[in-house]
Structure 1
Amino acid sequence: MTVIEGVHADHGATFREVGGRRVVAHYGRPERTHRAVRNVVGVCEFGYGVLVVTGEDRVDYVDNAVSNRVPDTDGEGTYALLLDPQGRVETDMYVYNAGERLLVFTPPQEAAALAEDWQEKTFIQDVDIRLATDEFAVFGVHGPKATEKIASVLHQASSPEPALSFNRGELGDAGVSVIRTDNLAGEESYDVVCGADDAERVFDTLVNRGLNAVPFGYRTWETLTLEAGSPLFETEIDGALPNDLGLRTALDFEKGCYVGQEVVSRVENQGYPGSRLVGLTVDAVPDPGAAVSVGDEHVGEVTRAVESPTVSGPIAMAKLDWDYPDGDLTVSVDGEDVPAERRELPFVDGSAVSARLPTYE
């Protein structure tokens, strides 16, 4: 469940489950909220799973397990993938060096199994992995005025500047860590991390103090990230090959061995992926998994689609064959083939560019 469900309910929230965790779906009028985030700033409670990794070998251990370099400097972080032996994504994660410990943020449904798996594989290394999801709250702050918002309420620290770096400070009388994130909504973005006991006060400060911010839920998050061209774990990333996702920000091909690296490197060296993520505009919103065709030939499928408040019409992200034939694209909607047009990602140019924007060479 959310850390402050009663507070969200007081704001008129309706709820849904994401990865087995109860989160805010929306607060009513999500299209209007979407525009408020695009124009100013909004706040969303995210339902991450959290691992705490301690011990002298903590950095080396996690670095050897994942696809990107784990920083050894306090206050720095990275976005990384855990890959299976075939090079497909088992989970994605953010890893932050917090001095004497690493904080690992995962999709909520992946945290418990990851903690158990890593703890079983420590062998003689000085590493301890602990599931700590219930100890933290994480609030995303997104919008062209996000930096101004953070500056208006953060004390004892300045807003962090490099992506995935963080500073420690105070919001009101609550200690927080403020992370400059990777702009998945296509806007300036921060995550504010606090202890669960401080969550209500931190949320109130973010929404009502300094520059006001609109609270928003996962429905708005999904429309924002799709407009920004950001693949998400549940809909695009889970089980995929990183090269097919164009997810270069999560990979360091020069680092040491990790599970699946040889497979990923071999795919990279073939010169092109087997498929690619593209944007589509459609006359009606298709379901996830809807077939995309050229004539009678199946060339891919929709990963997700929304009615975009900014584009003012249905948009979709789709996984298409890399070398699909020329011709008019169609998408299956309610058993009918509906015309679709390929669009370059992102659909919307905001105040920042998503670090997950698919990039192919």
Structure 2
Amino acid sequence: MTVLRSVHEAHGATFREVGGRRVVDTYGRPERTHRAVRNVVGTIEHGYGVIVVTGEDRVEYVDNAVSNRVPSEDGAGCYALLLDPDGRVDTDMYVYNAGERLLVFTPPQTAAALAAEWDEKTFIQDVDFEVATDDFAVFGVHGPKATEKIASVLHQTGTPEDVLTFERGELGDAGVTVVRTDNLAGEESYDVVCGAADAEAVFDTLVNRGLNAVPFGYRTWETLTLEAGSPLFDTEIAGALPNDLGLRNALDFEKGCYVGQEVVSRIENRGHPTQRLVGLAVEAVPAPGAAVFAGDEHVGEVSRAGQSPMREAPIALATVDWDLPAASLTVRVDGDPVGAQRVDLPFVDGSARSARLPAYE
């Protein structure tokens, strides 16, 4: 559940479920809001699950479990995956070193199960896991003026300079942590993390103080990330092989063994995966799972599609065969073939490139 339901309702919000958590769908006129974020700046309440990891062995334990290197220094983070024995993604996460604890931000539906799994696998290590989703609020600030927005309201510190690093400061009377995130919307991006008790004051500051920021919901978030070519957990990442998605920012191939690493490394060493994530310009919006054909050959499936406000045309992300034939592409929309053309990602160039933009060797 969003921690600010009544506040969002006062802004005209409607709601929906994402990963079992109630979030804002839209405040109305989502295409206009989308353009406002692309042109200036907007803010969204993100529905993360949160795990707090404490104990002397916290960094070593999480580092041994996930696909990327967990930083040992306070103020730094990483994007990482938890893989199953077949090398497929169980969950993705951001892991931040906050001094005497790690903060792990996950899709909301995976936090409790992940904390329980890690707790069951703890033997002699000094490490504890607490699901603290309801103790925090996380507000994303996205847009070409995101840095100016944060600088106009943040006190006692400056904006963090490097991606996935953070600074501690104040917004009004509230203590906050400001993270420079990885630009999933294709724009300069920050997460502002605060205690749940301070959420209303922080949201008001982000929307109304300093440089104003338009509030937006998940419908706009999905079109922003689609235009940016960013795979998301629910639609592209869950159950996938990270190499097929080109998620190189989540993998450290020089690490020691972790669950699923051997499979990922074998794929890497073969030269390329069997599939890839591509962008399609389509003549009509297909449903998720719609078949992609090259001539009469089935070559893949659409993972996500929508009307791009910036291109004013339908676009889609699709997982297709690596050796995609040169034949003309079509997708199935309501059972009928509709023309499609592969295009380079991102669909829209914003003020920053998404760190999840597919990258293949």
Q: Look up the match of 2:286.
A: 286
Q: Look up the match of 2:26.
A: 26
Between the aligned partners of 1:326 and 1:27, the Cα distance in structure 2 is 43
Q: Look up the match of 1:83.
A: 83
Q: Look up the match of 2:244.
A: 244
Between the aligned partners of 2:345 and 2:101, the Cα distance in structure 1 is 37
Amino acid at match of 2:115: A
The 5 A counterparts of 1:158-169 are: 158-169=158-169
Instruction: Give 1:324 shift.
Output: 2.3
Instruction: Give 1:256 shift.
Output: 1.4
1:134 aligns with 2:144: no
The 5 A counterparts of 1:267-346 are: 267-346=267-346
Between the aligned partners of 2:175 and 2:121, the Cα distance in structure 1 is 34
Between the aligned partners of 1:246 and 1:330, the Cα distance in structure 2 is 23
Amino acid at match of 1:159: T
Q: Look up the match of 2:100.
A: 100
Instruction: Give 1:250 shift.
Output: 0.2
Q: Look up the match of 1:5.
A: 5
Q: TM-score normalized by structure 2?
A: 1.00
Between the aligned partners of 2:231 and 2:191, the Cα distance in structure 1 is 18
Percent identity (aligned): 80
Q: Look up the match of 2:217.
A: 217
Matched residue of 1:258: which SS?
coil
The 5 A counterparts of 1:128-277 are: 128-277=128-277
Instruction: Give 1:15 shift.
Output: 0.4
Between the aligned partners of 1:327 and 1:256, the Cα distance in structure 2 is 42
Q: Look up the match of 1:53.
A: 53
Between the aligned partners of 1:281 and 1:58, the Cα distance in structure 2 is 45
Matched residue of 2:140: which SS?
strand
Residue deviations 1:98-122 (CA, integer Å, cap 9, x gap): 0000000000000000010001111
Between the aligned partners of 2:184 and 2:325, the Cα distance in structure 1 is 31
Instruction: Give 1:59 shift.
Output: 0.1
Work out the number of aligned pairs and report it.
361
Matched residue of 2:109: which SS?
helix
Amino acid at match of 1:283: E
Between the aligned partners of 1:103 and 1:340, the Cα distance in structure 2 is 42
Between the aligned partners of 2:358 and 2:295, the Cα distance in structure 1 is 26
Between the aligned partners of 1:44 and 1:69, the Cα distance in structure 2 is 28
Q: Look up the match of 2:43.
A: 43
Between the aligned partners of 1:286 and 1:188, the Cα distance in structure 2 is 29
Between the aligned partners of 1:36 and 1:277, the Cα distance in structure 2 is 28
Between the aligned partners of 2:238 and 2:144, the Cα distance in structure 1 is 30
Between the aligned partners of 1:194 and 1:258, the Cα distance in structure 2 is 32
Residue deviations 1:71-115 (CA, integer Å, cap 9, x gap): 000000000000000100000000000000000000000000001
Residue deviations 1:261-281 (CA, integer Å, cap 9, x gap): 111100100101110000001
Instruction: Give 1:296 shift.
Output: 1.3
Between the aligned partners of 1:29 and 1:120, the Cα distance in structure 2 is 46
Matched residue of 1:108: which SS?
coil
Matched residue of 2:73: which SS?
coil
Matched residue of 1:285: which SS?
coil
Instruction: Give 1:295 shift.
Output: 1.4
Matched residue of 1:124: which SS?
coil
Segments of 4+ moved more than 3 angstroms: none
Between the aligned partners of 2:3 and 2:87, the Cα distance in structure 1 is 35
Between the aligned partners of 1:190 and 1:173, the Cα distance in structure 2 is 19
Unaligned runs of 5+ in 1: none
Amino acid at match of 1:11: H
Between the aligned partners of 1:141 and 1:122, the Cα distance in structure 2 is 36
Residue deviations 1:167-198 (CA, integer Å, cap 9, x gap): 00000000000000000000000000000000
Residue deviations 1:40-94 (CA, integer Å, cap 9, x gap): 0000000000000000000000000000000000000000000000100000000
Amino acid at match of 1:137: A
Amino acid at match of 1:59: V
Residue deviations 1:196-233 (CA, integer Å, cap 9, x gap): 00000000000000000000000000000010000000
Matched residue of 2:264: which SS?
helix
